[in-house]
Structure 1
Amino acid sequence: MTDQKSSRTPKDTHYANLRRQFRDQKAGSVGKGPVGKGPAGKPQRPQRPATDATPVPEGLIRLYGLHTVRAALDNPARQIRRMLVTRNALDRLEIADVGALPFAVEIVEPRAIDRETGSEAVHQGVMIEARPLKTHSLKALQDSSLLLILDQVTDPHNVGAIMRSAVAFGAGAIITTARHSPQESGVLAKAASGALELIPHIEVRNLADAIGELHDLGFVTIGLDSEGPLELEQTMTPGRIALVLGAEGKGLRQKTRETVSHLARLDMPGAIKSLNVSNAAAISLYAAQRFLAAGSQAA
């Protein structure tokens, strides 16, 4: 009978160690041996334990990150109640006179902000507590020629990235549904990298009715769909354009598909025929902005 232990190859021993490491980590072991080493036997950096954020005061939100906070400071509509900031971040924000700010400022160590935001937040040494911005109405769109509408897009990272693209390409506003859309938060604002303060945000209860109102205001509404019958460029007309993008995974709802002026696809010659909603938003905004700019120059 063969001795299993003596017949092990180095490869067998390596995988046995990996299995033991997995069991020990799952059980919370901190003993010696392979625990804490990667497949090549190199020590791994210890993971910083995640900490829960402290509760946010009622009626306020927490925003963090240098770009996010700088944009909030520059926005006269943003009502800030409190700031926690490290000395290094204070220098980078270029605030000349802290005492002149109309809210409380505490100069702290980074771990103090960790306790407020949770250790997973990339706060870059600054956090503010502020009131959410007021949403706008469709009546505020009289001078806009390019809009972006989100049909129940729920991921705050995606919505933040979409806001950033909307500002970059000159969209007049972003319209979302009151339900099944993320509220203002540190995660959304960080992904927006300051854009949250720079673009009007409109919430509507009934998206189909809102699209109908946009038609009355002279907008052509174009729903992005990977199986749309026309390419995006074929659906654009001079004047006013509102791009409509659907939720991650399921896309546009049936009622939205029936209400928009056109369903269109992005022409993608590669093997993949669909994109993340934030990428699709950026590409379609670029195409629409170029189309509208060319039309205004021709006129």
Structure 2
Amino acid sequence: MAKSGRKPSGAGVWLYGRHAVAAALANPERCWHRLVVLAGHEEEAAVLAAAARAARRGSGAAISVLDQSGFATILPRHAVHQGLALEVEPLPEPDLEDVQPTGPASGRCIIVVLDQLSDPQNIGAVLRSAAAFGALAVVIPAHGAPPQTGALAKAASGALERVPLVRVVNLARALDRLKGAGFWICGLDETAPLSLAQTDLGERVAIVLGSEGGGIRRLVGERCDFRARLPTRPAQPTLNVSNAAAVALYELTRGRDR
């Protein structure tokens, strides 16, 4: 995770769920205030907190034990918390230049760019796939995209701590900056004549995905050097955006060292 960048405004947020909480505790760049555990889960919370304190050489906070009614006061209704919640400060969000490679890379460098996505669970799921396939970052627009919420972190299953989430004021200009850094820009489009596997994209790739309803906006699409589709069947050519991102990342990394 890049160390420079802007710190999101606003109060602390609650992360919840085993993977999201464990990853946040293990992340030295994550500032956390309070680890809350559901009665009956104290042993698991103690193990996580001890590991976090060891990794951070003694820093950390105490564990609070709450019952179900106590959890209901701090978390959204129906949050799947698995007995764990962590009050944190949002992570600093790096600038686009912070996540670009500074020298020769050993494998393909991939940045995922999301246009018009507002669902935190979709963005979290894309982060999870980005972490699994070694993407450098996920880029989202500053306007319209959700903040770093507990729902986003839960869907990311720990990947919010591992993959930089970059917010940019102007997505089209951000793609221009990536082009200047040697990236080829590929827009995912089910109507494209060639599949992603049939497109020669080089070693630096920014893959652009739009929302299921609106797709990729015109000005963003005009920055794409290529359009490519996934190898889906004609009867069902589209996927949910997070599933499409996972398939695209697999195609881009297949047969390469990661």
Partner of residue 59, structure 1: 11
Q: In the alignment, which residue of structure 2 is the partner of 1:146?
A: 110
Q: Is the 8 A contact 2:117 2:210 kept in 1?
A: yes
Are residues 1:103 and 2:61 paired? yes
Cα distance between partner residues in 1 of 2:48 and 2:193: 53
Structure 1 residues 263-296: Cα deviation after superposition (integer angstroms, max 9, x where no partner): 11112125111111001000000001126x17x9
Aligned to 2:77: 119
Give SS of 1:95's match: helix
Matched, 1:132 2:90: yes
Gap regions ≥5 residues in structure 2: 1-9
1:159 matches 2:117: no
Kept in 1, the 8 Å contact 2:100–2:136? The answer is no
Q: Secondary structure of the equivalent of 2:20? A: helix
Distance 1:282 1:135 in 2: 23
Q: SS at 1:122's partner residue?
A: coil
- Correspondence for 2:38: 86
SS for the counterpart of 2:118 is coil
CA contact (8 A) 1:221 1:241 kept: yes
- How far the C-alpha of 1:70 sits from its partner, in A, is 0.3
Q: Which moved more, 1:214-223 or 1:226-235?
A: 226-235
What is the TM-score with the length of structure 1 in the denominator? Answer: 0.74
> Does residue 1:77 correspond to 2:29, yes or no?
yes
Q: Which amino acid aligns with 1:124?
A: Q
Contact 1:66 1:89 in 2 (8 A): no
Q: How far apart, in 1, do the equivalents of 2:253 and 2:42 lie?
A: 37
In 2 relative to 1, CA 231–118 (structure 1 residues): closer, same or farther, beyond 3 Å?
A: closer
Go from structure 1 to structure 2 and tell me whether the alpha carbon gap of 1:221 and 1:89 turns closer, same or farther (over 3 Å shift). farther
Structure 1 unaligned regions, length at least 5: 1-57
What letter is aligned with 2:65?
I
Q: Distance in 1 between matches of 2:44 and 2:25?
A: 13
1:232 Cα deviation (Å)? 1.3
Report the counterpart of residue 7 of structure 2 in structure 1.
Answer: none
Contact 2:39–2:66 (8 Å) recurs in 1: yes
Helix, strand or coil for the counterpart of 1:118? coil
1:285 aligned partner, one-letter code:
L
Separation in 2 of the partners of 1:186 and 1:197?
12
Q: How many residues align?
A: 237
C-alpha distance in structure 2 between counterparts of 1:118 and 1:213, whole Å:
38
> Hey, what does 1:52 align to over in structure 2?
none
Higher relative contact order (CA 8 A, sep 6+): 2
Deviations 1:132-180 (A, max 9, x none): 0011112123327111000121111111111100000000111110011
Identity of aligned residues (%): 41
Paired with 2:190 and 2:214, the residues of 1 have a C-alpha distance of 11
CA 1:76–1:255: 2 relative to 1, 3 Å: same
Question: Which residue matches 1:229?
Answer: 193
How far is 1:111 from its partner? 2.6
How far did residue 89 of structure 1 move?
3.1
Deviations 1:191-237 (A, max 9, x none): 11111111011111111111011011111110001112322123233
Shift of 1:245: 0.3
Q: What is the TM-score of this pair, normalised by structure 2?
A: 0.86
